[in-house]
DNA sequence: ATTATCATGTAAAAGGTTACATGATTTG
DNA sequence: CAAATCATGTAACCTTTTACATGATAAT
């Protein structure tokens, strides 16, 4: 599925692997991420399939860049994927919930400590979505005249992350409180 | 991490692979899942490491069962993992959000259709958490006298799933409404 | 009759992470 | 002077999924 993330981004404009990684880190991190090593190998595979073409851009003072451009085949593949409805829910894996499920043998203080660490991490993620991510999206939308729909959807997706993190923090607060009272 | 799910469940009582799969499907599905093939290979690896021991239980009218029992080494490993705090957030991958992010080229009706399919799937997941999952947990807790903490944590984890699905359905409603108005 | 359940496994492939390898420039 | 940034890639490994393989009994 990383292939569609890359095709989707390269459908905005050509980029190199390093820049794709930066784009994902700043804009898609809360719903899709990848390591550089996987981005490079996936770009190579997409070019071999004819979905992308690359050209080397020689730079002075900086290493050369391999710029990838989406082809018509790539656009068709992206379109077909966008049109296909998702008829399943993505099954989630939540290490924290797995740990809490089996944590009855831990003592109260240790369990609460675990939950508080997660609370601060999720609060930070929520702040990032409301701050940096919101700013990146607003800026990109403002530079994208004539394509207002993009901006609406980017914001909708950001909002999904915000609701999800709000719910997580609320659950952590609820649960810390419950354990303080009942353990 | 499946290893800790299996060690955690086998710490309640010995089971075979097939039964572990059923347990996970009915109780842990919303935060951890695995295919039978992976469960079998992981059990084998855990036994090779000395975390589990297995014995074959011969049955009439049914295929034989390989029952797995946790060892002291397994209990120690489980304990060490439970005590280690989780200092990172699990990065999520949400195919629906990936699709919506790039979906500006779809027409309004198609996009709304995609979101409505997901709405019904997430509503069904929410109903399952409030129905079957809640019942399974309540029943298991009632049969677990003297270990009330287990039941409190099982319910807390179920509640996390409920809050998460509620937030998802709310977001889908918000987004369907936004697209109906602004696209 | 057909489908579901019970029951265990192996093999191949795909997806993803970690480690290795290199090296210049810029910022602190 | 050290660390971060820019920049690309390969190799080994781990995790997970899909497909293959078998076969009896119970339910519809």
Per-residue model confidence (pLDDT) at position A149: 97
Which residue does chain A place closest to B175, by CA atoms? A156
Question: Inter-chain contact B102–A82, Cβ cutoff 8 Å?
Answer: yes
Compute the CA torsion angle A90, A96, A98, A99 (nearest 10 deg): 170
Q: Which of B31, B82, B159 sits opposite A93 (nearest CB)?
A: B31
As a whole number of angstroms, the distance between CA A17 and CA B83 comes to 39
In the predicted model, is pLDDT for residue A61 greater than 80?
no
**Angle of CA points B161, A117, B163, to nearest 5°:** 15
Q: Is the CB of B91 under 7 A from strand C?
A: yes
CB contact under 8 A, B106 and A83: yes
For A117, which of B86, B167, B171 is closest by C-beta distance? B86
Rounded Cα gap, residues A151 and B147, in angstroms: 52
Question: What's residue A108's pLDDT?
Answer: 97
Q: What is the pLDDT of residues A117-146, one digit of tens each?
A: 999 999 999 999 999 999 999 999 999 999
How many whole angstroms separate alpha carbon B168 and alpha carbon B69?
Answer: 39
Q: What pLDDT sits at residue A98?
A: 98
Q: Do B167 and A166 touch (CB under 8 A)?
A: yes
What three-state secondary structure class fits A13? coil
Q: Which of A8, A87, A121 is opposite residue B89, by nearest beta carbon?
A: A121
Q: By CB neighbour count within 10 A (0-12 exposed, 13-18 middle, 19+ buried), where does A62 fall?
A: exposed
Nearest chain B Cα distance for residue A59, angstroms = 31
Weakly modelled stretches of chain B, pLDDT under 50:
none
Determine the pLDDT at residue B101.
Answer: 98
Q: Please tell me the distance from the alpha carbon of residue B2 to that of residue A182, in angstroms, as a whole number.
A: 29
Residue A174 in 3-state DSSP?
helix
Answer whether residue A60 shows pLDDT above 90: no
From start to end of B76-174, where are the E strands?
none
Note the strand C nucleotides within 7 A of protein beta carbons: 6-11, 15-20, 23-26
Work out the pLDDT band at A42, boundaries 50, 70, 90.
Answer: very high
Rounded to whole angstroms, the Cα distance separating B90 from A96 reads 8
The gap from C-alpha B24 to its chain's centroid, in whole angstroms, comes to 6
The pLDDT of residue B59 is: 82
Split at pLDDT 50, 70, 90, the class of A65 is very high
DSSP collapsed to 3 states, A131-154 = HHHHHHHHHHHHCCCCCHHHHHHH
Contact yes or no for A93 and B95 at CB 8 A: no
Distance, C-alpha A112 to centroid of its chain: 29
Confidence bin at A63 (pLDDT 50/70/90) = confident
**What are the tens digits of pLDDT across the range A146-174?**
999 999 999 999 999 999 999 999 999 99
Token reading at B84: 């280690």
- A118 and B89 within 8 Å at the Cβ level: the answer is yes
Taking only the tens place, the pLDDT of each residue in A16-35 is 999 999 999 999 999 999 99
Neighbours of A156 (CB within 10 A): 20
Q: What is the pLDDT of residue B60?
A: 76
What angle, rounded to 10 degrees, do the helices at B2-10 and B36-48 form?
80
Q: Is the distance between the Cβ of B171 and the closest atom of strand C smaller than 7 Å?
A: no
Distance from CA of A69 to the nearest CA of B (A): 17
For residue A156, the distance in angstroms to the closest alpha carbon of chain B comes to: 7
């Amino acid at each position: 599925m990383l292939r569609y993330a890359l095709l989707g981004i390269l459908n905005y404009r050509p980029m190199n692997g390093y820049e794709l990684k930066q784009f994902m880190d700043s804009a898609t991190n809360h719903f899709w991420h990848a390591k550089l090593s996987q981005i490079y190998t996936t770009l190579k595979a997409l070019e071999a399939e004819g979905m992308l073409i690359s050209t080397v851009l020689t730079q002075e003072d900086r290493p050369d860049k391999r710029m990838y451009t989406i082809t018509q085949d790539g656009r068709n593949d992206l379109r077909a994927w966008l049109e296909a409805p998702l008829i399943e829910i993505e099954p989630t894996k939540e290490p924290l919930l797995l740990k809490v499920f089996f944590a009855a043998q831990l003592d109260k203080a240790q369990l609460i400590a675990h939950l508080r660490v997660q609370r601060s991490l999720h609060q930070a993620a929520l702040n990032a979505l409301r701050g940096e991510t919101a700013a990146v999206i607003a800026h990109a939308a403002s530079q994208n005249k004539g394509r207002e729909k993009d901006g609406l959807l980017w914001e909708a997706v950001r909002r999904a992350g915000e609701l999800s993190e709000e719910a997580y923090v609320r659950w952590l607060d609820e649960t810390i409180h419950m354990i303080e009272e009942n353990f």
